[in-house]
Structure 1
Amino acid sequence: MRHFDTQRPEFAPYGFTCELWEPVPMPRPDRHDEIEINFLDSGSLTYLIGGNRVTVEARSLTLFWAAVPHQIVEFRDVTHYYVITIPFGWFLQWGLPESLQTQLIVGSILSENSDEKTSARDSSLFEQWHDDLLKSPDEFRDIVLLELKARLLRLARSHLKNPVTSPGDRDANANQSSPNLAKAEVMACYIARNFKSRLQIKEIADCVDLHPDYASTLFRKTFGATLNGLITRHRVAEAQRLLVSSNDQIIDIAFAAGFDSLSRFNRAFKETTGMTPRGFRKECRFNHR
């Protein structure tokens, strides 16, 4: 059973996971570039997110964009809870409603108040996903991803009819009508769908009809990250997936993930993860023996 590691670097990726976590008070916020989903069989967790205390209740499917600083400050009657992490780029490519994506990008927590039948089904799903990935991740990963995507499509449909969001969403919802936010979201989605190609800032700016300098400033002010920084995060995350899931040569992985040279790949990978690609592959494979 996992719990928060106070020594982990900010934005160190978790990748695609479905694990059982032990609740502990977090002495500092965590940030990572994945969508995080929580599910509790009992009790409650209280997060501090964006200055708001948000309580995750038992038997309620809850998700948020974990690039927003989040910190567990209190929990009640919880011995363990499920945590799923999905790389941000994968999530954006699933075709979920743009309004739901936007709420996550601006820092909202989305939660579904399910009936007893749906909650029982969710509990069984999380248990099965966890067991499948623990038993044979290579065999079951695609199956779990398809089932998870279907579940989130159901959540999106339910949420759009009966939205349940975090306490800070009154301000967030007001901001969502901003054309600037809409343009920033389009740029984030464009990067997620095209990060493996030789992306230029001008190309990203053109997709929202903005000057490159203005587009870069708008994106940084909206998301707290640069356009090039987000491109690099997606590429490094894809490289991590390939390093663990394939036996391809590192230079081939670098090009497959969108980097145009091995030296740039090695530098970006080390800056993002604190490890070399070779060291990352060796450690992951050792830990999974």
Structure 2
Amino acid sequence: MPMISFDPNRPDFAPYGLSCVRWSPSPMRRPDHHNEIELNLLHSGWVTYLLGGRKVRIRAGQMSAFWAAIPHQIIDFGDEPDYFVATIPFAWFLQCKLPERFVQPLLHGEVMAEPDETRARFDYDLFGQWERDLRDTREEIKRVVLLEMEARLVRLALALPNKEPSSARSRRRNPVLNDGGLNKVEQMACLIAQRYLEKLTVEEIGRSVGLHPNYAMSLFQRTFGTTLVEYLTHHRVSHAQRLLATGDEKIVDVAFESGFSSISRFNEAFRRACGCSPREYRKQHRIDD
């Protein structure tokens, strides 16, 4: 089968849906973002993403997962990378109710990578099977793939180090939400990912999904472990990180282009999130052409 590469003309935030394809990397002229969980599995080589303003290298033999609603852009690759890219619909992913120590970092922009190198051969066969299966249009086959993807994500979650004591995990465990609740949360997250550069308010976000602002905030925090405002700010800071690392705009222009209403709010939010000023970040992370 021919390998696929990024199309810079694809509509912004267009979904990939449930997919598994062989991918050919190329430097991307703009970031991509779509509301799916993305899995990468390299058979050889390496790929470097600019993911939410941070450089992240994906290496061969280590399945990696990230939430693709966060802007991501291939900026470098080497050693003739050969890899699979799988995408999993976000609503389905949430309904799997995977362990929090896996879900929460993922939803906050972390890349979750398989720590057990011995699983690589199994994963190559598995992704190859998914690629072949998803050429089949039968719903029964799609269901098999989804079940296998869920099982693989559970294995990844259980393989990650558990850094919290059990008592803390118990206190933070999310309440059970019905499908409607999950759908509302997904809609809010999707709205923020699409419109974080605009002047969004909690009232507008809640109204867009038919919820009272107070209930919208409560539901979102119980699911994501963060407030709507903090989540919106996270997207804006990530956008600013990308601009600082790749462009020469003035700091004040970066602030307003990233959705902040004032330079003081931008500086405060950026320092709180990154531990340094925007100017210091640019010096440390500047990507040369």
For residue 72 of structure 2, the aligned residue among 70, 73, 80 is 70
Q: Corresponding residue for 1:50?
A: 52
Question: 1:202-255 deviations in whole A, cap 9, x for unaligned?
Answer: 433354799xxxx6545533456xxxxxxxxxxxxxxxxxxxxxxxxxxxxxxx
Letter in 2 for 1:3: S
Paired residues of 1:191 and 1:204 also in contact (CA < 8 A): no
Letter in 2 for 1:89: A
Say whether residues 1:133 and 2:134 are aligned partners. Answer: yes
Shift of 1:47: 0.8
Give 1:105-116 correspondences, 5 Å limit.
Answer: 105-116=107-118
Q: Corresponding residue for 1:100?
A: 102
Paired residues of 2:96 and 2:150 also in contact (CA < 8 A): yes
Q: 1:128 to 1:205 in 2, by over 3 A?
A: same
Scaled by the length of structure 2, what TM-score is found? 0.60
Letter in 1 for 2:22: L
Q: Identity over aligned residues, as a percent?
A: 39
Partner-residue secondary structure (3-state), 2:161: helix
Question: 1:53-111 deviations in whole A, cap 9, x for unaligned?
Answer: 21111111101011111111111123531111111111111111123211111111111
Please provide the CA RMSD for this pair: 3.4
Shift of 1:151: 0.7
- Whole-Å separation in 2 of the counterparts to 1:113 and 1:209: 29
- Whole-Å separation in 1 of the counterparts to 2:184 and 2:161: 28
Gaps of 5+ in 1: 164-172, 225-289
Q: 1:196 to 1:85 in 2, by over 3 A?
A: closer
Shift of 1:23: 1.1
Partner-residue secondary structure (3-state), 2:43: coil
- Whole-Å separation in 1 of the counterparts to 2:221 and 2:150: 31
For residue 221 of structure 1, the aligned residue among 226, 233, 249 is 233
Give 1:1-289 correspondences, 5 Å limit.
Answer: 1-116=3-118, 118-161=119-162, 191-194=181-184, 199-201=210-212, 202-207=214-219, 217-222=229-234
Question: 1:157-178 deviations in whole A, cap 9, x for unaligned?
Answer: 00134x8xxxxxxxxx9xxx9x
Partner-residue secondary structure (3-state), 2:120: helix
Letter in 1 for 2:134: L
Partner-residue secondary structure (3-state), 2:44: coil
Partner-residue secondary structure (3-state), 1:53: strand
- Whole-Å separation in 2 of the counterparts to 1:45 and 1:206: 38
Q: 1:75 to 1:216 in 2, by over 3 A?
A: closer
Paired residues of 1:47 and 1:72 also in contact (CA < 8 A): yes
Question: 1:109-134 deviations in whole A, cap 9, x for unaligned?
Answer: 11113233x11111110111111111
Partner-residue secondary structure (3-state), 2:139: helix
Partner-residue secondary structure (3-state), 2:135: helix
Q: 1:45 to 1:200 in 2, by over 3 A?
A: same
Paired residues of 2:70 and 2:235 also in contact (CA < 8 A): no
Paired residues of 1:93 and 1:193 also in contact (CA < 8 A): no
Q: 1:137 to 1:79 in 2, by over 3 A?
A: farther
- Whole-Å separation in 2 of the counterparts to 1:73 and 1:18: 22
Paired residues of 2:48 and 2:76 also in contact (CA < 8 A): yes
Paired residues of 1:13 and 1:32 also in contact (CA < 8 A): yes
Paired residues of 1:48 and 1:70 also in contact (CA < 8 A): yes
- Whole-Å separation in 2 of the counterparts to 1:185 and 1:54: 32
Shift of 1:51: 2.5
Paired residues of 1:30 and 1:70 also in contact (CA < 8 A): yes
Letter in 2 for 1:200: L
Q: 1:209 to 1:55 in 2, by over 3 A?
A: closer
Scaled by the length of structure 1, what TM-score is found? 0.60
- Whole-Å separation in 2 of the counterparts to 1:184 and 1:4: 36
- Whole-Å separation in 2 of the counterparts to 1:183 and 1:85: 26
Gaps of 5+ in 2: 188-208, 237-289
Letter in 2 for 1:151: R
